[in-house]
Amino acid sequence: MADIIDLTLIAESRRHLESLLDARGLNYFLKVDARRPFQLEPSRVDLVVRTAARARERQTGRRHEDAFERARAEVRRELIRRVVAAMLQTGL
């Protein structure tokens, strides 16, 4: 069976990620752990995708559970890219 990739869910997730990054910053998505300072908090990534899914569901009335994993992966990839850029900027 083919995987369902909902491109509109991914686009909506990116929009919500951008708004949360503008409002709260990159540290909002990181775990507070002295041993691993740059580890992502999975519940915050999930929050972005679920919020985007709710907004999308209100618009279309449809929901694809299979598309969530792809959207999560895209949000994680973007956050990892930003964390690496921040690490390089500070010289770590």
Domain ranges of the chain: 7-90
What does each C-alpha distance from 31 to 36, 44, 62, 64 come to in angstroms? 8, 10, 33, 29
Q: Is the dihedral of CA 90, 92, 85, 51 positive or negative?
A: negative
Both tokens of residue 3? 């995987």
Using DSSP, state whether 36 is helix, strand or coil: coil
Identify the band that residue 15 occupies on the pLDDT scale cut at 50, 70 and 90: very high
The model's pTM is 0.81
Q: Is the model's pLDDT at 34 over the cut of 90?
A: no
Mean pLDDT (the chain) is 84
Both tokens of residue 20? 């949360």
